[in-house]
Amino acid sequence: MRAGRRVPALLALASVALIVTDTLTPLGPLRAFGSATYGGLEDATSAGLRWARGERNVAELEAENARLRAELLAARRVASSPAPADGYQAVPAHVVGFGRDGTVTVDAGSEVGVGQDMTVFDGDGLVGRVLRSGPGTATVQLATAAGASIGARLEGSREVGLVTGVPERGLLRLSLLNPAAEVKPGDRVVTLGSRDMRPYVPDVPIGTVVEAEPASDALTRTALVRPFARFTALGLVTVVLGPLPDDATPAVDAAGGKDPAKRDKEKGSSDKKKSDKGGADKGGAEKPEAA
């Protein structure tokens, strides 16, 4: 009996040790291993599912879509926003895994230049930001996650606030810094934008106000926001890598010039540094091909 209990007791102790270690210092290598192993499997599973549904030969269209969306986003920006760039470098990605922690996996990773704290959006609006990236996949924190908080502003009045997740209801809560600000149902909420465009680029649509909440204190004004993006049915998303390099013309920018799944296979020649260097002279994804 005693011998039969030794293994489970040891494993339970090991689990507790893991929990304590991960709470004190994040276990990066273990997560990187999980990302490399299971990320690849998720990518393959999802690619198989898409293939079975008949979504073939659309990689070029997806890349073009990502580039056009990034251009549209850049064109939406009003003159007052601080970002210096004329456009964004972007890659298309598929959502290949849905988590229970308000996170999703996308099939673009550090091999195509995706790194921590990059903005992710889709055709409807803001999706979230990249939490961490593995070689071929990245983990994205959704805007509705319990831990997410996004600088935001009302599109009309330019009032500044903070958007946090209300995970139980799939809604967001906007807390305006100005307690006297006018907010009414139907107002559109967009991102405020961060320094160096990380984690959020400015003026990505987030959602519309559905309900102005009664003031709980005199310091902030809060409202419930329905997000534009449908977080339970995410498909194709766009990851913003950064601003376009100055000398690049929009025609060559398209960092998403190729299917990310294909690019993942060209290992060695397409790690993040090279992709960044490529961005300096020619623009993102053209480099791995030339190398």
Partner 1 sequence: MRAVVLSVLVVLLAPVLQVSVVNGLALPGGGPDIVLIGVIALAPMLRPGAGASLGFAAGLAADVAPPADHTIGRLALVMCLAGWVCARIPEDAGAGRRAAVAAAVALGATLAAGVLAALLDGTPWGTALAPGVLAWTTGLAVLVTAALSLPPRRRSFGRGRGPRHRPRDPYPPGRRLA
Contacts with partner 1, residue ranges (CB under 8 A): 4-8, 11-12, 14-19, 21-23, 27, 30-31, 33-35, 37-39, 41-42, 45-46, 49, 95-105, 131, 134, 137-141, 146-147, 167-168, 232-233
Longest Cα separation, the chain: 74
CB of 12 to partner 1, least distance (A): 6
Instruction: Show Cβ contacts of residue 225 under 8 Å, excluding neighbours closer than 6 positions.
Output: 163, 171, 172, 173, 174, 189, 206, 207, 208, 209, 210
Identity of the residue, 136 or 279, whose beta carbon is nearer to partner 1 in the bound complex: 136
Question: Minimum distance from CB of 228 to partner 1 (Å)?
Answer: 17
Residue closer to partner 1, measured from CB, 89 or 137: 137
List, in sequence order, every residue forming a beta bridge with 225; answer none if it has no partner: 172, 209
Measured from the CB atom, the residue of 228 and 231 that comes closer to partner 1 is 231
Q: How far is the CB of 40 from partner 1 (least distance, A)?
A: 9
What tokens appear for 253 in the block? 């920018």
Which residue lies nearer to partner 1 by CB, 41 or 72?
41
Of 112, 109, 113, the residue nearest 135 (C-alpha): 109
- Which residues are CB-neighbours of 43 under 8 A, at least 6 positions away? 96, 107, 136, 137, 261, 264
Consecutive H or E run containing 67: helix 59-76
Contact 101, 147 (CB under 8 A): no
Q: Are residues 150 and 200 in contact, defined by beta-carbon separation less than 8 angstroms? A: yes
Please state the closest distance from residue 11 (CB atom) to partner 1, in A: 4
Type of residue numbered 107: D
SS3 182: coil
Tokens 């009003």 -> residue: 78
Reduce the DSSP state of residue 268 to 3 states and report it. Answer: coil
Q: Residue 134 or residue 207: which is nearer to partner 1 going by CB? A: 134
Q: Which is nearer to partner 1, 19 or 61 (CB)?
A: 19
In whole angstroms, the minimum distance from the beta carbon of 101 to partner 1 comes to 4
Minimum distance of partner 1 from residue 167's CB (angstroms): 5
> Closest distance between partner 1 and the C-beta of residue 30, in Å?
6
Helix (H/G/I), strand (E/B), else coil: 241: strand
CB of 9 to partner 1, least distance (A): 9
Q: Which is nearer to partner 1, 164 or 191 (CB)?
A: 164
Kindly tell me which of 22 and 213 has the beta carbon lying closer to partner 1.
22
Report how far apart, in Å, the C-alpha atoms of 168 and of each of 145, 175, 202 are: 10, 18, 27
In whole angstroms, give the CA distance from residue 38 to residue 176. Answer: 40
Q: How many CB atoms lie within 10 A of CB 209?
A: 19
Query: Tokens 């009414």, residue?
Result: 184
Residue for token digits 């397409």? 270
